[in-house]
Structure 1
């Protein structure tokens, strides 16, 4: 049996690695296509682009790892069936269900590793990836100079607006000839620079632009003194323009905020505890408001600050229009209704946030357990429809993937709206597929239920019978 176990594990390894890398590559290409507009024209270095894909990789791996497990199981058992190895094992008295024992152990190890991965690696990668996306979005496009064109230079800070024109620009070195520079930042002070040649470069930080101009002069005209005109000649002049922003700015904002997909399980539970405390406060305030309004309706007296500990005072929710605690019943009732409505909305918003955090906690576990579920489901499917080749593997894999992830996404949406509980939403697909897989495992090895051709023939015969039933009735009539 040890030889058979090693043979099965080796048979699964190749298809698993191929499916894992292929699926991961396809999803990463899809991610690139979606984010291409954000990355293009930013002048990003290769290092930043590589970091972008590395940080997007954990979220992709969390999805493709269980998918690769299903593809490997389907392909391996389908190949064993088509090559009559399953028949040889059954003839040798080997129980087919015993073949799944090493696979279930390996899937259990993968599940445990994926739980740790989804809890530790994935949230941190998602957090850094979202920060990088924000930094890229805030980055200004790459500054490019075009010859025979008024190039607008607008620094990110300082509020300056400068136009630069050059008759000819040498690509690569940014050497310029017949340079004209116009500073229109201050309408009352018009400044312009004319030079025979120059060069544009950036400082070491990659943010500030440095212009070195040669053999030229500056012109300055003050609008308040139109009769004055100033001209200064120079052989070499250096101009600095700060804040062009061609370099990506990183970590220039607080690191406190994290979305639900950027939190570990411990962080999510801590947020749930905090929100539960806030919900208790909102509920207590709503009860106090309702109690005070009921007391006013029965006695006609406004509540006092010292009569009921924690009750709202007349100057808070029940303050009258004259500001001294006396007013019309309609005003007091309307304000009580507004206070109750606000408390109800606050409780509903808090409940929705708590449900979202609970969904994220269960999702980390349910997606990890998917590897184990796919082993239980994949083996009976491959044995029943074995011999179909790679086409069967692709079609079955796509069908199972679609059902699983559509159910997961739909359950997440329903749980967010409060239609179902987060526990039910995230685990119902795993439970249903596990039940179906166990039923399939119970029938493995039975000749009456394992023939692929007989199953398809029976299905086709049933469809033919249903289709010919109306025509048969007409013929008999």
Structure 2
């Protein structure tokens, strides 16, 4: 390796690792800020908290690495241009492409490592992180109660609107469904407020409910009486529910039983899952079409109705061939069939919508592994020529420019992926859109940097207006006046 290549590579690598460590530290602090409410005050060991942060950190790499490459490229090449080092290189016959050669090999290596990291390390860390959070939630039931959704805790499904207090022990607007031994939720308890009371030495967690109602659905032995849906209702000022935590406290934090999320899978596993889901979706769609066709009654129309003269079957309507009573019965039956089909169609529509969303999430996760490596290359060819053009190094202007570019890149990707989940946009287009937008920008900036042009050439825009004003006599021609 020549001295110049070694110098450029050393300068870039030093800045690269410094920026990466700083950005990773900032994003880890953001992670602590997001999850401090779940981790603090739960009597968790420092080792468990550090392990949680360690497992969560690899998920930040797809966000930190592209920003690091973009910022490092702008800073490094901006410093070279600001210190007239590029001018010295060009005077010696060394072009920008030649100066970028050693760094191009380095960025290609980083891209390959990024793909390996996204395909192997991030799924393993996601697997560890989700299982650890699940086990912590079982070990500390207060963490298992999430606001505004039903939470499964033992024999109860608990929903609260808001948690408060130092340890989230105070609950507001509590709704509890109690599971029965034979299945189903026949007991519903509603309360305006509640409080979780317990200690780490006890296997019993007391839930004290205040100002609420107790609804208990009665199940008579006579099935005809069940159609009336009888229930009992009672009011209470205070009601105490004791929850047995013996099963919760026997939790192994190293247990790894949850493995169904798409973030835990490698490329081969994602491809296999997508194929499996697609086959299942197509099979269910075929079964649904066949079921709806049979429920329409078209297959049995010739059996149930055989008119003598088919030429006049629809002249006065089919019902004209029946008496009033039979026509009314047929109409009511048809309306019932249609309403049932509409209800079934609406239910299946939501089910298929969920299936499509699941397939799209897996496809997005698959493409994201490839996008990360390509994005590293594209953002390097955006940042390096941009730094050479703006001719400013350090941590001032380069940081502002890099953040603006990266936020544009990042937000386009987020909006596109959110649209792809419900099928509005193809998963392939959504994941590659931001990178494809940055690609022509990188080509444009590289061309302008290699031809010693500025960021924007305003003369080409202003020149037509100058000619127009000269013809109108608003601007004097200096060459003629002289």
Per the normalisation by structure 1, the TM-score is 0.66
Alignment correspondent of 1:88: 88
State the match for 2:235 in structure 1.
none
Confirm or deny that 1:299 pairs with 2:302.
yes
Determine whether 1:439 maps to 2:441.
no
Residues 132, 254 of structure 2: 8 Å contact kept: no
Larger Rg: 1
| Unaligned residue ranges in structure 1 (runs of 5+) | 145-150, 162-241, 303-326, 466-472
Shift of 1:248: 8.6
2:56–2:129 CA contact under 8 A, matched in 1 = yes
Return the offset for 1:375. 0.9
The DSSP-based 3-state class of the residue aligned with 2:396 is helix
Contact 2:115 2:373 (C-alpha < 8 Å) held by counterparts: yes
Specify whether residues 332 and 10 from structure 1 end up closer, same or farther in structure 2 by C-alpha distance, changes over 3 A only.
Answer: same
Aligned residue number for residue 15 of structure 2? 15
CA distance in 2 between partners of 1:387 and 1:67 (Å): 18
Which of 387, 397, 404 is 2:402 aligned to?
397
SS of 1:80 mapped into structure 2? helix
Residue among 249, 257, 266 paired with 2:251:
249
Paired residues for 1:98-247 under 5 Å: 98-140=98-140, 153=199, 157=203
In structure 1, the partner of 2:426 is 421
Aligned residue in 2 for 1:60: 60
CA shift, 1:361, in A, is 0.7
Displacement of 1:395: 0.5
- Sort the Cα spacing of 1:294 and 1:385 in 2 relative to 1 into closer, same or farther, 3 A: farther
Q: Which moved more, 1:365-374 or 1:25-34?
A: 365-374
Q: Does the 8 Å contact 2:70/2:402 carry over to 1?
A: yes
Change (3 A) 1:254 1:85: closer
Q: CA deviation at 1:381?
A: 0.8
Q: What is the CA–CA distance in structure 2 between the aligned matches of 1:154 and 1:443, rounded to whole Å? A: 66
Counterpart-to-counterpart distance in 2, 1:154 and 1:85: 65
The residue aligned with 2:388 is 383
Q: CA deviation at 1:246?
A: 11
**Can you list the C-alpha shifts for 1:269-315, whole angstroms capped at 9, x where unaligned?**
2222221122122221222124322525843649xxxxxxxxxxxxx
Q: Structure 1 residues 415 and 442 mapped into 2: Cα distance closer, same or farther (>3 Å)? A: same
Q: Is the 8 A contact 1:289 1:340 kept in 2?
A: no
Cα deviation 1:126-153 (Å, max 9, x = unaligned): 12112222233333499x9xxxxxx965
TM-score, scaled to structure 2: 0.65
Corresponding residue SS for 2:449: coil
Decide whether the 8 Å contact of 1:127 with 1:262 is kept in 2: yes
Preserved CA contact (<8 Å) 1:295 1:301: no
Say whether the 8 Å CA contact 2:203–2:249 is kept in structure 1.
no
Q: 1:154–1:244: structure 2 CA closer, same or farther, 3 Å change rule? A: farther
CA distance in 1, matches of 2:110, 2:383: 16
Question: 1:324-363 maps to which residues of 2 (within 5 A)?
Answer: 328-363=333-368
- The 3 A distance-change label for structure 1 pair 47 and 153 is closer
Q: Distance in 2 between matches of 1:415 and 1:267?
A: 21
Residues 251, 300 of structure 1: alpha-carbon distance in 2 compared, 3 angstrom cutoff: farther
Aligned-partner SS, 2:100: helix
Contact 1:62 1:367 (C-alpha < 8 Å) held by counterparts: yes
User: How well do the aligned residues superpose, as a CA RMSD in angstroms?
Assistant: 3.6
Indicate conservation of the 8 Å contact 1:120/1:264, yes or no. Answer: yes
- 2-structure distance, mates of 1:248, 1:104: 53
Q: Match for residue 36 of structure 1?
A: 36
How far apart are residue 154 of structure 1 and its match? 7.7
How far apart are residue 446 of structure 1 and its match?
Answer: 2.2
Contact 2:75 2:392 in 1 (8 A): no
Q: Unpaired runs of 5+ in structure 2?
A: 143-166, 168-196, 208-243, 306-331, 467-473, 475-482
Q: 1:284 aligns with which of 277, 283, 286?
A: 286
Bigger relative contact order (CA 8 A; separation at least 6): 2
Q: CA deviation at 1:251?
A: 4.7
User: Displacement, 1:422?
Assistant: 0.7
Q: 1:258: Cα distance to partner?
A: 2.4
In structure 2, C-alpha distance between the alignment counterparts of 1:60 and 1:406, rounded to whole Å: 16
From 391, 396, 411, the equivalent of 2:416 is: 411
